[in-house]
């Protein structure tokens, strides 16, 4: 309730008080009682009733999201040329007025058409039935988010008043959806061109609503449903595609396992080759080391060393040695001379 309504209510109470005073005055007068005081009170109530009603009729307060059209007897078309915006306004009492049905909310509103009864503006299945260019029937759930254009409120009030949802928003949206769906194949709507379809519908609704003084802020393509036969066919196709993908995955897995086995075998063979090569290299190094050791050993042998080693070899098993006089050893020492044997000379 705004301030104008409050003042008018007070004016109504003052008028009722004035009527009560008149009745009381009539009663006292009929009884020959003094009614001069009541007369003054009645006049005061009458003045208050007229003042409060007049002021209340001239004050209009609108909340932040509301605009109002002023009905005026001074204008040729019956309306002020501009709507009132939010706030407190003064209109000429009794010749101008703002009926409740002339007040409009400019807040964003949502009109939903859905197959679910509790979601849509209309009870029951209110989805849009449309046919694609290849003849398939689809059912579409959609929402139109819009607001009234406050600059065109006079025209809207004159032509539609509060019937704009059922006479403008709903038919425009449903027609745009049906026309757009008819331009696409069902496969395109399902997959590749759903976003394009949504944008096409949005552009069409926005243009058509703007021509009717309504501003669309967004369009939502909520759901697309197909006939039972087509849905079953799509399901079977998806199952076949999944099976094909599974088979392809199995083939790839087998390939990977075969490649892994090949690489394992190759690694084993390479390891054997490397081990054989390592063994050969080790044997070669060992032979080279033995040759080098023999060479060093040969360089270190002297006649004295050989005689010493010879004696050491004999010594563990010998307790007593008898040496004949004039002989150095029982056995001859090994020949340690490295002089080559010479052939006997012959005398001719």
In this prediction, residue 319 carries a pLDDT of 58
Of the two residues 242 and 112, the one the predictor is more confident about is: 112
Say which range, 94-108, 223-237, 285-299, has the weakest mean pLDDT. 223-237
Phi-psi category of residue 72: left, alpha or beta, with phi > 0 → left and psi -120 to 50 → alpha: beta
| E-only strand ranges, the chain | 59-62, 66-68, 71-72, 87-90, 96-97, 103-105, 109-113, 128-131, 137-148, 214-226
Tell me how far CA of residue 267 lies from CA of 74, 260, 262, 271, 289, in angstroms. 103, 10, 8, 6, 32
In this prediction, residue 347 carries a pLDDT of 41
- Of 44, 39, 42, the closest CA to residue 19 belongs to 42
- Per residue in 148-197, pLDDT tens? 999 999 989 988 889 999 999 999 999 999 999 999 988 888 778 999 99
* 339, pLDDT greater than 70: no
Cα separation, 346 vs 348, in Å, equals: 6
Model-wide pTM > 0.85: no
Beta bridge partners of 140: 128, 224
Q: Average pLDDT of 12-30?
A: 79
Residue partners of 109: CB distance under 8 A and separation at least 6: 145, 146, 147, 165
Class level of CATH domain 108-226: alpha beta
Tokens of 76: 């040729």
- Residue ranges of domains in the chain: 3-103, 108-226, 227-259
Say which range, 2-11, 94-103, 179-188, has the weakest mean pLDDT. 2-11
Q: Average pLDDT of 200-225?
A: 93
* 214, pLDDT greater than 80: yes
């Amino acid at each position: 309730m705004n301030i104008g309504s409050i003042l008018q209510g007070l004016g109504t109470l003052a008028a009722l008080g004035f009527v009560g005073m008149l009745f009381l005055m009539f009663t006292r007068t009929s009884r020959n009682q003094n009614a001069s005081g009541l007369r003054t009170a009645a006049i005061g109530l009458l003045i208050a009733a007229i003042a409060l009603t007049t002021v209340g009729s001239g004050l209009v307060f609108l909340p932040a999201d509301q605009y109002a059209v002023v009905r005026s007897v001074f204008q040729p078309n019956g309306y002020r040329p501009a709507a009132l915006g939010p706030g407190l306004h003064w209109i000429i009492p009794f010749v101008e007025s703002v009926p409740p049905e002339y007040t409009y909310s400019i807040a964003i509103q949502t009109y939903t058409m859905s197959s679910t009864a509790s979601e849509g503006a209309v009870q029951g299945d209110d989805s849009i039935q449309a046919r694609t260019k290849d003849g398939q029937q689809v059912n579409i759930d959609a929402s139109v988010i819009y607001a009234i254009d406050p600059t065109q409120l006079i025209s809207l009030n004159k032509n539609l008043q509060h019937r704009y949802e059922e006479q403008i928003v709903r038919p425009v949206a449903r027609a745009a959806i049906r026309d757009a769906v008819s331009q696409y194949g069902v496969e395109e709507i399902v997959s590749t061109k759903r976003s394009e379809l949504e944008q096409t519908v949005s552009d069409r609704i926005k243009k058509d609503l703007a021509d009717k003084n309504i501003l669309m802020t967004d369009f939502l393509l909520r759901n697309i449903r197909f006939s039972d036969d087509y849905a079953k066919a799509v399901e079977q196709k998806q199952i076949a595609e999944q099976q094909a993908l599974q088979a392809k995955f199995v083939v790839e897995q087998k390939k990977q396992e075969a490649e892994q086995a090949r690489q394992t075998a190759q690694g084993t063979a390479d390891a054997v080759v490397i081990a054989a090569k390592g063994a050969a290299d080790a044997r070669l190094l060992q032979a080279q080391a033995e040759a080098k050791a023999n060479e060093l050993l040969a360089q270190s042998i002297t006649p004295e060393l050989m005689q010493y080693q010879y004696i050491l070899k004999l010594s563990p098993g010998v307790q007593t040695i008898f040496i004949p006089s004039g002989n150095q050893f029982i056995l001859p020492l090994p020949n340690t001379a490295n002089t080559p044997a010479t052939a006997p000379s012959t005398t001719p």
